[in-house]
């Protein structure tokens, strides 16, 4: 089964190729066409062109090209049909249903899981206010979460044993859809037990505001693993989503701050930093990278100040370096994570921290500096050579000058020496 040419034309006509590609690649106009760095091969100068007149793209470097649908299949790594569906959705075009029995069955199963998830999120949320959720309420007080925050993120508290299972059954949900959601497990002896018990519950929504998974925080501090996350299921796969993007999108999100944990994002949001998302795990994936790129011009990495956080920054840089967005790193001192920082020093200072977030080059220089002892002549030479290599990678000559100036001042090295080394 396939869509008719008529429908395909409608999808193409309603998705301007320059607009669509701009969500992934930074494009600059030059004459009749637009140019940018090719997202399909590594390059330093733009050979990827987009023609608004012909509504096609072409890369002179690697030869890849096609129309807006081709672009979607390649950039998202999806099939033709899925690409058409994505673009149709983007342009608010209702596609006719194709009679593919397998696909429509899958869609039905997905729809059921969304329903179970959404009902559960609301149930946990209401339960948080009930007397038997005292532990959860204490946690709310301890974290100083406001009612508005509890509402914005639909935060909740889960019950005991098979409480949710019973509630879902009473609501009319069937065993197969309940199990498929992962919110209830079936024991070997055939009894049902809730996956989340006595936990502070954080629903995870996708950009279309559908509940796809949950994070559950245990409230005894002694537990080594504080969070339990939903297992992957028909609507949720790890590394494809960013927590809080659905909320951040409602505000100005030209810049997006990425933090490690849900509670960091929630705490910052409550204190006025609205353009914040959490990575749902430390290692940023390529999918998440593109999701960030699609939604922001500037991405600020606000990971924890510990070793794992620094490793996560290096990893995120690798993932996003060719996605054509301005990446910055938050420099936090005096606190172990963004949550602690904003509570200690307030939102004005946190905002300042964001404004002063350093570029990737500056971050790399800092890492280098920590590894070497600049008092030792040999190390200083090494340092000079390494920063020269970094500077040589900057395409823009004015930018290069500015960095040389900065580094010369900051590290007491003559500008000429850096200049010579970077030639």
Q: Which residues make up the interface to Zn ion (CB under 5 A)?
A: 38, 40-41, 59, 61-62
What is the C-alpha to C-alpha distance for residues 255 and 339, in angstroms, rounded to an integer? 19
Q: 286 near 16, Cβ under 8 Å?
A: no
The residue (of 39 and 338) whose beta carbon lies closer to Zn ion is 39
Q: How far apart are CA 259 and CA 22, in angstroms?
A: 25
Q: Which residues of 156-173 are buried (b: 16+ CB within 10 A; e: fewer)?
A: bbbbeebbbbebbeeeeb
Give the sign of the dihedral formed by CA 107, CA 109, CA 112, CA 118.
negative
Of the candidates 273, 272, 271, the one whose C-alpha atom is nearest the C-alpha of residue 258 is 273
24, 38 in Cβ contact below 8 A? no
Name which of 62 and 111 has its Cβ closer to Zn ion.
62
Smallest gap, in angstroms, from Cβ of residue 340 to Zn ion? 43
Q: Which is nearer to Zn ion, 40 or 196 (CB)?
A: 40
Of 62 and 392, the one with the shorter C-beta distance to Zn ion is 62
Q: 92's torsion region: left (phi>0), alpha (psi -120 to 50) or beta?
A: left
**Nearest approach, Cβ of residue 40 and Zn ion (Å):** 5
- CA distances to 119, 171, 196, 360 from 165, in Å: 12, 10, 11, 48
Nearest Cα residue to 176 out of 240, 122, 238, 105: 105
Pick 11 or 59: Cβ nearer Zn ion: 59
Pairing of strands 255-259, 298-301: parallel
Q: What is the DSSP letter of 231?
A: P
Instruction: Report the residue number, 75 or 273, with the smaller CB distance to Zn ion.
Output: 75
Q: How far is the CB of 90 from Zn ion (least distance, A)?
A: 24
- Name which of 38 and 360 has its Cβ closer to Zn ion: 38
Least distance in angstroms from the C-beta of 23 to Zn ion? 18
How near is the Cβ of 38 to Zn ion at its closest, in Å?
A: 3
- Cβ pair 387, 380 in contact under 8 A: no
Q: Least distance to Zn ion from the beta carbon of 69, Å?
A: 18
Nearer to Zn ion, 38 or 247 (CB): 38
Is there a contact between 150 and 138 (Cβ–Cβ < 8 Å)? no
What is the rounded distance in angstroms from the CA atom of residue 167 to the CA atom of residue 122?
A: 12
Total residues belonging to the chain:
423
What is the smallest separation between the CB atom of 43 and Zn ion, expressed in angstroms?
A: 7
The nearest distance, CB 315 to Zn ion, in angstroms, is 24
Nearer to Zn ion, 35 or 157 (CB): 35
Q: How far is the CB of 33 from Zn ion (least distance, A)?
A: 15
Question: What's the CA gap between 410 and 406, in Å, rounded?
Answer: 6
Within 10 angstroms of residue 213's Cβ, the number of other Cβ atoms is: 25
**Contact residues for 214 (Cβ-Cβ < 8 A; gap 6+):** 117, 120, 121, 183, 196, 201, 202, 203, 204, 229, 230
Please, which residue, 44 or 352, has the CB nearer to Zn ion?
44
Q: How far is the CB of 20 from Zn ion (least distance, A)?
A: 17
């Amino acid at each position: 089964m396939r869509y008719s040419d008529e429908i395909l034309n409608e999808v193409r006509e309603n998705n301007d190729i320059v607009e669509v590609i701009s969500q992934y690649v930074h494009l600059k106009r030059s004459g009749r066409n637009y140019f940018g760095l090719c997202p399909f091969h590594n390059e330093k100068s733009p050979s990827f062109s987009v023609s608004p007149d012909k509504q096609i793209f072409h890369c002179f470097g690697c030869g890849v090209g096609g129309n807006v649908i081709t672009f979607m299949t390649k950039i998202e790594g999806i099939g033709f049909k899925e690409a058409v569906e994505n673009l149709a959705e983007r342009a608010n075009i209702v596609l006719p249903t194709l009679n593919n029995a397998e696909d429509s069955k899958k869609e039905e199963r997905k729809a059921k899981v969304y329903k179970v998830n959404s009902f559960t999120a609301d149930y946990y949320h209401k339960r948080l206010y009930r007397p038997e959720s005292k532990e959860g309420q204490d946690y709310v007080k301890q974290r100083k979460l406001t009612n508005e925050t509890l509402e914005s993120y639909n935060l909740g508290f889960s019950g005991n044993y098979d409480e949710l299972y019973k509630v879902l059954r009473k609501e009319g949900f069937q065993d197969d859809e309940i199990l498929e959601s992962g919110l209830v497990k079936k024991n070997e002896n055939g009894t049902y037990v809730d996956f989340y018990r006595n936990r502070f519950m954080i629903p995870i929504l996708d950009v279309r505001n559908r509940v796809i998974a949950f994070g559950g925080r245990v409230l005894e501090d002694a537990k080594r693993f504080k969070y339990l996350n939903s297992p992957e299921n028909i609507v949720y796969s790890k590394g494809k989503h960013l927590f809080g993007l659905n909320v951040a999108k409602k505000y100005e999100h030209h810049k997006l701050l990425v933090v490690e944990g849900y509670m960091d994002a929630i705490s910052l949001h409550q204190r006025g930093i609205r353009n914040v998302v959490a990575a749902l795990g430390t290692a940023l994936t390529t999918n998440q990278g593109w999701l960030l790129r699609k939604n922001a011009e500037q991405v600020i990495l606000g990971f924890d100040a510990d070793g794992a956080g620094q490793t996560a920054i290096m990893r995120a840089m690798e993932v996003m370096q060719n996605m054509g967005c301005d990446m910055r790193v938050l420099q936090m001192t005096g606190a172990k994570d963004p949550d602690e920082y904003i509570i200690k020093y307030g939102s004005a200072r946190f905002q300042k921290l964001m404004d002063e977030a350093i570029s990737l080059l500056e971050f790399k220089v800092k890492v280098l500096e920590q590894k070497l002892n600049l008092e030792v002549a040999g190390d200083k030479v090494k340092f000079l050579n390494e920063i020269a290599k970094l500077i040589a990678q900057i395409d823009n000559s004015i930018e290069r000058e500015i960095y040389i100036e900065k580094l010369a001042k900051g590290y007491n090295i003559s500008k000429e020496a850096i200049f010579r080394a970077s030639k």
